[in-house]
Chains A and B, each alone.
Chain A
Amino acid sequence: MTEQTIELPRRESSLLRAIKSVALLRESVVGMVGLGIVVFWVFIALFADLIAPFPPNATIMPLASPGMAGPDGAVFWLGTDHIGRDILSRIMFGAQQVLIFAPLATLCAYTVGIPMGLAAGYVGGMTDEVLSFIANVILSFPVLVLYVIIIATIGASAVNILIAVTFASAPGIMRIVRGLVLDLRSREYVAAAETRGEGPWRIMVLEILPNARGPLIVDICLRVGYVIITIGVLGFLGLGLPPPDPDWGGMINETRQMAMTFPHMALFPCIAISSLVLGFNLLADGLREVSLRD
């Protein structure tokens, strides 16, 4: 047998593979709509500085109706609030804040939750019992109660909200990952790795985790949506970032009393937040559909 020089073709770059999997999503109408909405808001958040007609906190002309023109001719497309700030601009900058915070918080939660879930599911035994107990304790606090207590106790700031969200979400993620790991660890390729003498962390991260990515990706989307709602609720209850920074929940809270006469002030932020969450939820559903068809 002659030795041929081996020409293994270069592995497809990860970018190419990612693009291909997005293309798969094309099969799901729901997923594409969700993706469209998310991309739309990401675009707005990215370019808010360039395309917002007014600075978000500048008080210009109170209680302007949507479509009315301001002093130098620029139009308040969505009107202004009771202090005179342009609602459209505030929504755009609010999108920035939400789309930085929510994914970041979700990422932090996953960074904590994934290792916990891997360890609990794969190692089992005492590790599992302790970790699951901790998760149960945290989860037995109703979520909003937890947030309210934490924030009311340690105060509201960007970092604190991040910590609160991570703390409240990590146990749920841990449970999901643990469930997936428990299912996957009985597969023969895991046994094959074990008979090779591979170390436990290598098995968890390289053998098991890549095969859990389907359900986890769906969960990430759902969870980002849920965190967006949570940030909105905290803002609404007055526990979010302190004013005057635009915060969709806060905007709704401040203006709801006047919604009788000036409905636009509360309505547009409502639509904004609902559409963004809807986008993530539809995306998650589309991804789930597509992964099932695989």
Chain B
Amino acid sequence: MSTNGKGYDGPILECKNLSISYFTRAGEIPAVVDFSLTLHQGDSVGLVGESGCGKSTVAMAIMQYMGHNGGIVGGSIIYKGQDLAALSEEELRHLRGNEIAMVYQEPMASLNPSMTLGRQLMEVPLCHEQITEEEAYKRAVQVLGDVHLPDPERVMNSYPHQVSGGQQQRVVIAMALLSNPSLLLLDEPTTALDVTVQAGIIELIAEIAEKFNTSMIYISHNLGLILETCDRINVMYSGQVVEEGTVEEVFDHMRHPYTKGLFSAIPLPGADKTAHPLVAIRGQLPLPHERPAGCYFGPRCDHFQAGACDQGLIEISPVSGEAGHAVRCRRWSDIDWTAYRPGDVSAEAIAPGAEVLAINKMRKYYELHDNSIAAWVKGNRVRYVKANESISFTARESQTVAIVGESGCGKSTFAKVLMGLETATDGQVIFQGEDVSNFPVQKRTPKQVGSVQMVFQNPFDTLNPSHSVGAQLARVIKKFGIESDKDKIEQRVMQLLDLVKLPRDFARRRPRQLSGGQKQRVGIARAFAGNPAMVVADEPVSALDVSVQAAVTDLLMDIQRNYRTTLLFISHDLSLVRYLADRVVVMYLGNIVEQGTTDEVFSPPYHPYTEALLSAVPVADTSIEKKRIILEGNLPSVMNPPKGCPFNTRCQRKVGSICETEVPPMVEDKEGHIIACHIPIEELRQVEPVIKMQKDKEDQPAAE
């Protein structure tokens, strides 16, 4: 057992001016510069930043696991009074897993696929303490209970792939807790999980922190998550901490332009695409060896002052009047924070036009052929995966319709049917007056194909790495028959690059010379090359950094406004959906459970799933009070959906056996707002809203 605070009074962890660099063939790459942190028993601090800011490197440095080409080049890390860099390998081994434990981003990859979970759990106490196997077993079962895993014995005997993602992460957390560590490092522990599952894990982490008084370092790019889990926050940019303090202070009285830029780039409940659009931080993250002299954020800062901001190492200085709040900026006291609203522009609202898309009771079942003998005997050689069940909704010109749901809800299948990559099993898909449900892409006319295009999720895969950007765009133009003359095609390519605000000479670059955000812009250009009437955007920004997300989202909005395109926006990010969408369709396990305008869906009456989803999404706003609803159980398998209402296995408002036997009716609350639930609509109208605004903060954008 680790000492866990007993007999040691000082800070658990002290990082003093820590600098970490990687040494590659290309030279020294400084990953972290001048990082300082003090953590006492029971503290929880969040490290927030975008990719490349060095937050994960700090965690690896604490574990002294930087690989053979990384090393501490300055400062020190002191754990309970000991300098970690001075310890021998054997002493480090005693600390790892025992006093300092870690929870990782991808639970499936972090567990050994060839070992039972029980074995992996028992290893921890067995190697650190002198106990017998039976005792280790009992402890493992007990800690599995602490993380609220049902049926711990079964989990002990399972292999990692036999349990769900959320359960895997609970096991990883259990593994970290087994020896009662003093310090827990969590590196984006919920990024790979669904939103409702994430809520459960967050709750668990909060509970553990309180129960065991463990100190925590929580690494994330999601400001909302930090608000829910941590007391203090360190905002990192390009290897340095730019602002630190308690969560309330930093969120409400931020004093660094970058922090301000971050908050302006994320969709908060008060943001609105017409009145308060998202503001992207201009410029780009500098590469580690191209960092400017002085303030790293200087080139992108609205308050940059030559002479003050580009000389020497900027020190971190306390903010007067707020103990523990410090900022790395020379001009923070000069800036008028109440008046500073970066890029406060508004745009006009667009009125939707004629109906463009009408989906009518569309069904898509996949056939699974099981050729085994067992299936032949049982008579179920052909099974159906009910990917989409009775989908009906409409979309109008220049409207943004969001399709929301977690994994397995059928949104990707739906997109495929729309694009013609699959044909519908039943029902109609009427696009611009023609039913295309039975027309795969090969059977559609080039004009039809060009009228509905897609923006994909993963910017790193969305462009063919072997062809230049210009060639790929030219191909699309030619394919849709927009232009056929070589020069005209080239001109159109240039126009498209202008449209997405990329320099024209990108046309001859290869995709690997572009950043993620730039690639996604090309993806958008490609989708709009054929003057489409409708664009399906499948999680177009979820793989991008926060500040880039804002830019790409705004771009999409701009183009849509100018071209009056219908946008079908598929996402699991409810904050973004609330910001962008005019109408929302909520899907669960292939069924539509609720649809309506954004305001209607985001306020009562809710479908119970919508309610749970709303409560699960972390919001980075201290003035919000949120109901806590945690769903039990896992997402059921699509191959074996529950009978009756698909949500009945997890519903927090389950009425009774009617939910298990009968498919719920589509109940209309108002015209256009439909909820599929057995609960009477009057009762649902009485439900309290999930999100309630509280006090007004001085320097926030006016919250509505």
Q: Complex formed: what's the CA distance from A166 to B581 in Å?
A: 59
- Note all chain B residues with C-beta closer than 8 A to A213: 466
Indicate whether B442 reaches chain A with its CB closer than 8 angstroms.
yes
Q: Complex formed: what's the CA distance from A1 to B457 in Å?
A: 31
Indicate whether B476 reaches chain A with its CB closer than 8 angstroms.
yes
Indicate whether B444 reaches chain A with its CB closer than 8 angstroms.
yes
**Contact, CB under 8 Å: B454 / A192:** yes
Indicate whether B487 reaches chain A with its CB closer than 8 angstroms.
yes
Shortest CB–CB separation between residue A199 and chain B, in angstroms?
8
Indicate whether A196 reaches chain B with its CB closer than 8 angstroms.
yes
Closest to B474 in A: A8
- Note all chain A residues with C-beta closer than 8 A to B494: 4, 6
Shortest CB–CB separation between residue A133 and chain B, in angstroms?
15
Indicate whether B153 reaches chain A with its CB closer than 8 angstroms.
no
Main secondary structure of the interface of A (DSSP, over half): loop
Indicate whether B420 reaches chain A with its CB closer than 8 angstroms.
yes
Shortest CB–CB separation between residue A159 and chain B, in angstroms?
35
Shortest CB–CB separation between residue B464 and chain A, in angstroms?
4
Shortest CB–CB separation between residue A1 and chain B, in angstroms?
7
Q: Complex formed: what's the CA distance from A195 to B446 in Å?
A: 11
Which listed segment binds B: A87-95, A183-191, A234-242? A183-191
Q: Mark A177-204, 1 if CB is under 8 A from B, else 0.
A: 0000000000111011011111100000
Q: Mark B410-435, 1 if CB is under 8 A from A, else 0.
A: 00000000011100000000000000
Indicate whether A219 reaches chain B with its CB closer than 8 angstroms.
no
- Note all chain B residues with C-beta closer than 8 A to A4: 494, 504
The contact of A197 among B442, B498, B507, B526, by CB within 8 Å, is B442
Indicate whether A210 reaches chain B with its CB closer than 8 angstroms.
yes
Query: For chain A residues 1-53, which have a beta carbon within 8 Å of chain B?
Result: 1, 3-4, 6, 8-9, 11
Indicate whether A207 reaches chain B with its CB closer than 8 angstroms.
yes
- Note all chain B residues with C-beta closer than 8 A to A207: 464
Indicate whether A211 reaches chain B with its CB closer than 8 angstroms.
yes
With A189-B462, A192-B456, A196-B479: A8-B498 Cβ-Cβ less than 8 Å: no
Query: For chain B residues 431-464, which have a beta carbon within 8 Å of chain A?
Result: 441-442, 444, 446, 449, 453-454, 456-458, 461-464
**Contact, CB under 8 Å: A191 / B466:** no
The contact of A198 among B456, B466, B479, by CB within 8 Å, is B479
Indicate whether B491 reaches chain A with its CB closer than 8 angstroms.
yes
Shortest CB–CB separation between residue B263 and chain A, in angstroms?
31
Indicate whether B154 reaches chain A with its CB closer than 8 angstroms.
no
Q: Complex formed: what's the CA distance from A191 to B419 in Å?
A: 10
Shortest CB–CB separation between residue B552 and chain A, in angstroms?
16
Query: For chain B residues 506-527, which have a beta carbon within 8 Å of chain A?
Result: 507-508, 523, 526
Shortest CB–CB separation between residue B123 and chain A, in angstroms?
32
**Contact, CB under 8 Å: B490 / A187:** no
Closest to A27 in B: B25
**Contact, CB under 8 Å: B498 / A211:** no
With A11-B508, A189-B464, A197-B446: A6-B491 Cβ-Cβ less than 8 Å: yes
Closest to A10 in B: B508
**Contact, CB under 8 Å: A6 / B490:** yes
**Contact, CB under 8 Å: B419 / A195:** yes
- Note all chain A residues with C-beta closer than 8 A to B470: 8
Most chain B CB within 10 A, of A191, A194, A195, A213, is at: A195
Indicate whether B644 reaches chain A with its CB closer than 8 angstroms.
no
**Contact, CB under 8 Å: A197 / B444:** yes
Q: Complex formed: what's the CA distance from A211 to B467 in Å?
A: 10
- Note all chain A residues with C-beta closer than 8 A to B463: 189
Indicate whether B145 reaches chain A with its CB closer than 8 angstroms.
no
**Contact, CB under 8 Å: B457 / A195:** no
- Note all chain B residues with C-beta closer than 8 A to A211: 464-466
- Note all chain B residues with C-beta closer than 8 A to A8: 470, 490, 507-508
- Note all chain A residues with C-beta closer than 8 A to B507: 8
**Contact, CB under 8 Å: A195 / B441:** yes
**Contact, CB under 8 Å: B446 / A192:** no
**Contact, CB under 8 Å: B464 / A191:** no
- Note all chain A residues with C-beta closer than 8 A to B453: 195
**Contact, CB under 8 Å: A196 / B476:** yes
- Note all chain B residues with C-beta closer than 8 A to A210: 464, 466-467
Q: Complex formed: what's the CA distance from A256 to B479 in Å?
A: 65
Query: For chain A residues 201-235, which have a beta carbon within 8 Å of chain B?
Result: 207, 210-211, 213
**Contact, CB under 8 Å: A197 / B464:** no
**Contact, CB under 8 Å: A9 / B441:** no
With A196-B449, A197-B449, A211-B464: A3-B491 Cβ-Cβ less than 8 Å: yes
Shortest CB–CB separation between residue B479 and chain A, in angstroms?
5
Closest to B479 in A: A196
Shortest CB–CB separation between residue A19 and chain B, in angstroms?
18
Q: Complex formed: what's the CA distance from A208 to B453 in Å?
A: 21
- Note all chain B residues with C-beta closer than 8 A to A192: 454, 456, 462, 523, 526
**Contact, CB under 8 Å: B420 / A195:** yes
Q: Complex formed: what's the CA distance from A211 to B510 in Å?
A: 13
**Contact, CB under 8 Å: B491 / A1:** no
Shortest CB–CB separation between residue B71 and chain A, in angstroms?
21
Q: Complex formed: what's the CA distance from A195 to B453 in Å?
A: 7
Q: Complex formed: what's the CA distance from A191 to B421 in Å?
A: 9
Closest to A189 in B: B464
Q: Mark B463-485, 1 if CB is under 8 A from A, else 0.
A: 11111101000001001100000
With A1-B498, A210-B466, A211-B465: A194-B421 Cβ-Cβ less than 8 Å: yes
Query: For chain A residues 87-121, which have a beta carbon within 8 Å of chain B?
Result: none
- Note all chain A residues with C-beta closer than 8 A to B420: 195, 197
Q: Complex formed: what's the CA distance from A27 to B453 in Å?
A: 43
- Note all chain A residues with C-beta closer than 8 A to B504: 4
- Note all chain A residues with C-beta closer than 8 A to B465: 211
The contact of A195 among B454, B493, B498, by CB within 8 Å, is B454
Q: Mark A61-78, 1 if CB is under 8 A from B, else 0.
A: 000000000000000000
The contact of B458 among A1, A188, A195, by CB within 8 Å, is A188
Closest to B462 in A: A188
- Note all chain B residues with C-beta closer than 8 A to A196: 441, 449, 476, 479-480
**Contact, CB under 8 Å: B466 / A188:** no
**Contact, CB under 8 Å: B461 / A188:** yes
**Contact, CB under 8 Å: A197 / B508:** no
**Contact, CB under 8 Å: B441 / A197:** yes
Closest to B476 in A: A196
Q: Complex formed: what's the CA distance from A11 to B526 in Å?
A: 21
- Note all chain B residues with C-beta closer than 8 A to A199: 442
Q: Complex formed: what's the CA distance from A207 to B466 in Å?
A: 8
Q: Complex formed: what's the CA distance from A198 to B464 in Å?
A: 14
Query: For chain B residues 498-547, which have a beta carbon within 8 Å of chain A?
Result: 498, 504, 507-508, 523, 526
- Note all chain A residues with C-beta closer than 8 A to B458: 188
Q: Complex formed: what's the CA distance from A188 to B539 in Å?
A: 13
**Contact, CB under 8 Å: B490 / A197:** no
- Note all chain A residues with C-beta closer than 8 A to B491: 3, 6
Closest to B458 in A: A188
Shortest CB–CB separation between residue B508 and chain A, in angstroms?
6
Q: Complex formed: what's the CA distance from A162 to B375 in Å?
A: 47
- Note all chain B residues with C-beta closer than 8 A to A6: 487, 490-491, 493-494
Q: What are 6 A-B residue pairs whose CB atoms fall within 8 Å in the complex?
A: A1-B498, A192-B456, A195-B441, A199-B442, A210-B466, A211-B464
- Residues in chain B within 8 A of chain A (CB atoms): 419-421, 441-442, 444, 446, 449, 453-454, 456-458, 461-468, 470, 476, 479-480, 487, 490-491, 493-494, 498, 504, 507-508, 523, 526
A4-B504, A189-B462, A192-B526 known, 20 other contacts, Cβ within 8 Å: A6-B490, A6-B491, A11-B468, A11-B508, A188-B458, A189-B463, A191-B454, A192-B454, A192-B456, A192-B462, A195-B449, A195-B454, A196-B441, A196-B480, A199-B442, A210-B464, A210-B466, A211-B465, A211-B466, A213-B466
Report, nearest first, the 8 A-B pairs whose CB atoms are least far apart.
Answer: A210-B466, A188-B461, A188-B456, A189-B464, A6-B490, A188-B462, A197-B449, A197-B441
